[in-house]
Amino acid sequence: MKILWFIPTHGDSRYLGTAQGARVADFAYFKQIAIAVDSLGYEGVLLPTGRSCEDSWVVAASLIDATRRLKFLVALRPGLVAPVQSARMAATLDRLSGGRLLVNLVTGGDAEELAGDGQFLPHAQRYEQSTEFLAIWREALAASHRGEAFDYEGRHLRVEGGKLLYPPINKPYPPIFFGGSSDEAHELAAAQVDTYLTWGEPPAAVATKVADVRARAASQGRELEFGIRLHVIVRETEDEAWRAAAELVQHLDEKVVAAAQAKFASMDSVGQRRMAELHKGKFNKANVREGLEIAPNLWAGVGLVRGGAGTALVGDPQQVADRIKEYAALGLNYFVLSGYPHLEEAHRFAELVFPLLPLDVQERLQGPKLTGPFGEIVANNYVPQPAVHKAASAS
């Protein structure tokens, strides 16, 4: 089990869908989050992509020297950069970071956004292009270890004498992550990626997707890892957690929700459509669980105005840990998490949930390296005693 966090390069706030409680999402803030999650023991951070975000590659590169072990799951958009140049960028970031690059392939699902970036292919052809792009990208990096050039000719892309002189540290290339819910996406995942990511759907739906991708990969003699993208709202008690969920959406305006849902409905992303079906754009401010708690402790309220991952695990530490273990039992070992605001929630999740995860996960967490005492000394003399957490299972 590997736990990753999120760098909110498209903004952060205490409340969804409003400027109230918003904070400046600048380099200083990104750096604070990166340093925090690096020191807390998270495996890495996801950096999103799109016109609403700061560039993921530039931000990741800027955070190399601020962190020690943190890995960067950086979004890769086929078609926006030539595949060999993109491979060169990946090799450079992997080398300069000491092998800390992970790559998240994002084909895109918003035709308007894609057109603004000069991309006009329909859904099926976009996946054809992504397949060719990734084939070139992988070969460029793999061939760099051998000092060889290569050629490639496809329907959408062509390379003659492609070559990288500086190979990445990861062999044959930095690990590739990818998420998508369409048949084309599952085929691409089965054929070329290393880890398939799903958004936070109920466990039964996730199990079906995992089984399908696993079977497609097996038919090609491949094995994949699996992961899930979720938000988290964890508090010391369940009531506090649900109050925090209510507070997160307390300033939402119905017109904002309707506008967001209309925009999401115009996209050709199957995954986005599945997210929208979980909440149907409706919520009751007086009872945010009503109609939105789509499985135990799984809340679809975030997706009312946020595109992409739209569900959160809500509950006390044991409940959230149990839900994570439930997904892990389905074969998922990467958990890419986030919470509002991202700096505070990263600390809260690590403090409350890390001690309840399986023992082998706890052993890999970096945690504090100094000896005690920990916490503020009371009355200049008394040392705070550590909290006693419920024993975690090793399974």
Would the CA dihedral through 393, 36, 73, 302 be positive or negative? positive
The torsion defined by the Cα of 27, 30, 33 and 37, in degrees rounded to 10, comes to: -110
Whole-prediction pTM = 0.92
Both tokens of 109, joined, read: 């699902």
d(CA 299, CA 56): 28
- Nearest CA-CA partner of 232 in 115, 120, 354: 354
* Residue 393, pLDDT above cutoff 50: no
Q: Decide if pLDDT at 373 tops 80.
A: no
Question: Is 162 domain-assigned?
Answer: yes
Per-residue model confidence as pLDDT tens digits over 15-59: 999 999 999 999 999 999 999 999 999 999 999 998 889 999 999
Q: Is 263 exposed, middle or buried (CB count within 10 Å of its CB: 0-12, 13-18, 19+)?
A: middle
pLDDT grade, residue 190 (50/70/90)?
very high
Strands 195-199 and 176-178 come out as parallel
Please report whether residue 295 resides in a domain: no
What number of CA atoms fall less than 13 Å from residue 210's CA on the CB side?
A: 25
Does 228 score more than 60 pLDDT? yes
Q: What is the SS3 assignment for 206-245?
A: HHHHHHHHHHHHHCCCCCCEEEEEEEEEECCCHHHHHHHH
392 versus 132: the higher-pLDDT residue is 132
Q: What is the pLDDT of residue 47?
A: 97
Beta bridge partners of 312: 231, 299
Mean residue pLDDT across the chain? 92
Q: Is the pLDDT of residue 389 over 60?
A: no
| Type of residue found at 66 | A
Boundaries of domain holding 77 = 2-232+316-364
Q: What is the pLDDT of residues 246-272, one digit of tens each?
A: 999 999 998 998 898 888 888 888 888
Could you report the per-residue pLDDT of 55-102, keeping only the tens digit for each? 999 999 999 999 999 999 999 989 889 999 999 999 999 999 999 999
| Overall average pLDDT of the 171-196 stretch | 96
| Measured distance CA(5)–CA(33) in Å, rounded | 9
Residue 381 within any structural domain of the chain: no
Residue 180 inside a domain? The answer is yes
Name the percent of the chain lying above pLDDT 70: 95
Domain-located, residue 9: yes
Q: What is the pLDDT of residue 276?
A: 83
pLDDT per residue as tens digits for the range 330-361: 999 999 999 999 999 999 999 999 999 986 77
Q: Which amino acid, one-letter code, is at 385?
A: Q
Judged against a pLDDT cut of 60, whether residue 329 lies above it is answered with yes
Q: What is the CATH number of the domain that holds 73?
A: 3.20.20.30
Domains in the chain: how many in total? 1
Residue 183 has pLDDT above 70, yes or no: yes
The answer to the question of residue 377 being in a domain is no
Q: Report the pLDDT averaged over residues 108-119.
A: 83
Domain contains 393: no
For the residues 367-373, what does the mean pLDDT come to? Answer: 63
Give the residue-averaged pLDDT of 212-234: 98
Dist CA 370 CA 73 (whole Å): 29
Alpha carbon 214 to its chain centroid, in Å, reads 20
289-302: pLDDT as tens digits: 999 999 999 999 99
Whether the pLDDT of residue 392 is over 50: the answer is no
3 state DSSP class of 377: coil
pLDDT tops 90 at residue 286: no
The single-letter code of the amino acid at 122 is P
Q: Does position 394 have pLDDT exceeding 50, yes or no?
A: no
Domain-embedded: residue 392: no
d(CA 340, CA 19): 14
pLDDT at 368: 53
